[in-house]
A and B are shown apart, each in its own frame.
Chain A
Amino acid sequence: MAIEVRIPTILRTYTGGAKQVEGKGSTLSELIDDIDSSHTGLKDRLIADGGLRRFVNVYLNDEDVRFLGGLETPVKDGDTVTVLPAVAGGAA
Chain B
Amino acid sequence: MLSLSRELHDKIVAHARADHPDEACGVIAGPAGSDHPDRFIPMMNAERSPTFYRFDSMEQFQVWKEMDERDEEPIVIYHSHTATEAYPSRTDVSYASEPGAHYVLVSTRAPDRTDFRSYRIVDEVITEEPVEIADVE
* B-side contacts of A84, CB under 8 Å: 57, 60-61, 64
How far does the Cβ of B46 sit from chain A's closest Cβ, in whole Å?
9
With both beta carbons as reference points, the residue of chain B lying nearest to A58 in the complex is identified as B57
User: B79-114, CB under 8 A of A: which get 1 and which 0?
Assistant: 101111000110110011111100000000000000
Count of residues in A whose CB is under 8 Å from the partner chain? 19
Q: How many residues of B sit at the interface, in one of the four size bands? A: 20 to 34
On whether A89 and B79 interact (CB within 8 A), knowing A8-B97, A9-B100, A10-B97, the answer reads: yes
Closest to B121 in A: A89
Contact string, B42-84, partner A, CB cutoff 8 A, digits 1/0?
Answer: 0100010111111101101100100000000000010101111
- Contact segment of A35-43, A59-67, A68-76: A59-67
A64 to B59, CA, bound (A): 11
Point out which of B53, B60, B77, B98 has the most chain A C-beta atoms below 10 A from its C-beta.
B60
Does B23 interact with chain A (Cβ within 8 Å)?
yes
